[in-house]
Chain A
Amino acid sequence: MMKKIFFLAASFALLLAATCKEDDDFAKEVVDMNFKSTFGDAPLVMYESAYPYEAGMSVKLQLFQFYLSNISVQREDGSLVLQKDIALINFKDILTPSAATEGISLNMEGLAPGHYKAIRMGIGVAPNLNSTNPANYTPPHPLDDNYWSAATGYVFIKIEGNADTTGNGQFPAKLTFHTGANELYKEKTFDKHFELKKGQTLQLKFSVDLKKVLSKGPGDFLDFRQITQDHSNNPEVYTFIADNLYNALVLE
């Protein structure tokens, strides 16, 4: 009888061990790149929230999106592991403060466990991809939209909304800033030492302050009393936006 009990217990333990091993094998390492946007200190919520801007103006947003290219992770030895060639970070569906807090997740799977020292990505559409067009893709794909045929390239950054330029609580000024051109594409390295353990989901928190994209400070901002749109026509405006986004995107 004891032998039978022992045999049954041993079989059960073996089965359990085998199952656990299987689970370990199936657990994948995930790097969750989480993007949140703010306007100043406040979470960026589309439509509803009015945000104080420069010179007594206020703004409401309907769209804020930008492309990221060649998202790579840098190993300790300096070599880069490409994770995604293109991604569209789009805050247009962020309609509540809780959604803003949750942010937008971009999951990268297949990265080997180990030590890493940085994330590297291009802000905008990399030239090799910017020379393609939606006909090269099957939707849904980040590059199946936002193509401006007249400029034979993609719109890297879109900011749309309304401004109250007089402080009367009305928002009649329509803002549309669409920015894109090969010369605006810039790669940025975010230094961050981290260890990705076997089976781990690791979150990297990125944030971008839209106010900093539109304004460098009280004396240096897009003045919506003077300008409400640019579709990569005015180099002063579109380089201002692209440079600011480069600086405003940070890894916490």
Chain B
Amino acid sequence: MASKTQQLNLFEVCCLLFLCLCGGIFMVSATRVLDDADRKNGDVCSPTPYTLQEPAHFVKMLIPADNPLTEEGIELGRQLFYDPLLSMNGAVSCASCHLPQLGFGDGKAFSIGVNGQEGPRSSLPLANVGYYYKGLFWDGRSKSLEDQALIPVREPHEMNSDWSLVELKLRNHPKYPELFRKAFSITDRKEITRFLVAKAIAQFERTLISANAKYDQVLAGKATYTASEERGRKIFFDASDDLPKSECGHCHLDPLFTNLDFQNNGIQQVTSLEDFPDKGRGKITKIIYDNGKFRVPTLRNIELTAPYMHDGRFETLEAVLDHYASGGHLADNLNPNVRQLNFSKQDKIDLIAFLKTLTDTSFVQNPAFANPFNE
């Protein structure tokens, strides 16, 4: 009797397995029908590797092994970068706060998100952001571009959306499933996830290389500085004992014009390190000596990226120089390189003339970085 029961159980198990198998085949078939609708006549999906043209005078870019650059990935990233579909109300895209003509900044002291909500900081320009290996944002909270791209969608003062909703919109979009399939070899639109969105945007952002300013052309022997620019360059890099020193180059290290670090540059007067209204890097690391420290921003395209500092407190480069000449507000973690300077009016004119040689018009006007929805 026991043996008969066992046999029956074995039979039942076999039937169950068979049904499962049939169900699986049915589901896979259904998925394929869905995918076939996305495909174009048996188009073989194989993203085209993209070789980044890195400037010879730059440090090498770190590209994660799990997100190699491809032509299709970069193009998808560009579309997503400019598409307000990522936001709650379809009004805000990445490009709303990162406009090419403003050096991929937005010209505001505090960036504006959906429904006119003001963010706590200004938008960081994106020139050469692919080289930022010490963390993204003013406070370095994201370790990679892929991590960074996940954040604005759900920030209430940015896109104020929900990733599940965004994924749904993309999966049901008439165009995007095909673009994702080409970029990432997916076989089912359900494979469109926030992580692939972030990867595509990161790929596009890695191509945002600004290395054709007058500064670069002079380095390459294709241009020469004016007398004022050259004098400004020497002041900037403390390169002459006969000229005043600006101490700029300690943090704004060339050729990226940032050392990617986080510093207190003395713009905020506080009585103790606990008192910084925006703790910046300290909010992330929980180290009190990081309070009031913010990313050293790049000076590339600085002419286009006013207002300056994380809170946009300085509207002009003259105001920035005046701040540094003052030596900044003392604090236990004030960078000691921020020290009182004696600039003449001519020194400031020359320094600014040099800073303007960092404007890269070919970068801001590069059609490869432009809004594809305007094409």
Contact = CB atoms under 8 A, between A and B. Distances in A.
B251 to A, nearest CB: 11
Contact of B237 (A62, A139, A150, A228): A150
B59 A150 contact: no
Contact of A62 (B61, B62, B333): B333
A174 interface: yes
Contact of A149 (B56, B237, B287): B237
B11 interface: no
Given A138-B60, A150-B239, A145 B133 contact: no
B62 A138 contact: yes
Given A138-B59, A174-B339, A47 B332 contact: yes
B117 to A, nearest CB: 35
Contact of A172 (B255, B330, B337): B330
Contacts of A46: 289
A135 B339 contact: no
Interface in B255-273: 255, 259
B238 A139 contact: no
Contact of B259 (A145, A171, A175, A231): A145
Interface in B288-317: 289
Contacts, number: 68
A162 B336 contact: yes
Nearest to A143: B59
Interface in A34-55: 46-48
Contacts of B337: 160, 174, 176
A172 B335 CA distance: 12
Interface in A144-176: 144-145, 147-150, 160-162, 171-172, 174-176
A233 interface: yes
Nearest to A177: B336
Contacts of A145: 253, 259
B343 to A, nearest CB: 17
A144 B249 CA distance: 15
A150 B339 CA distance: 20
A137 interface: yes
A47 B333 contact: yes
Nearest to A159: B336
Nearest to A139: B133
Contacts of B339: 174, 176, 228-229
B336 A161 contact: yes
B59 A134 contact: yes
A150 B241 CA distance: 12
A139 B59 contact: yes
Contacts of A47: 289, 332-333
Interface string A128-142: 000001110111100
B133 A140 contact: yes
B254 interface: yes
A86 to B, nearest CB: 15
A82 interface: no
A135 B56 contact: yes
A160 B327 CA distance: 15
Interface string B214-243: 000000000000000000000001110100
Nearest to A155: B250
Given A95-B289, A145-B259, A233-B241, A150 B60 contact: no
B57 interface: yes
A149 B254 contact: yes
A149 B248 CA distance: 13
Given A46-B289, A47-B289, A135-B56, 10 more contacts: A60-B332, A138-B60, A138-B61, A139-B59, A139-B133, A140-B133, A148-B237, A176-B339, A229-B339, A233-B241
11 contacts: A135-B58, A137-B60, A138-B61, A139-B133, A148-B249, A149-B249, A150-B237, A150-B239, A174-B337, A176-B337, A228-B339
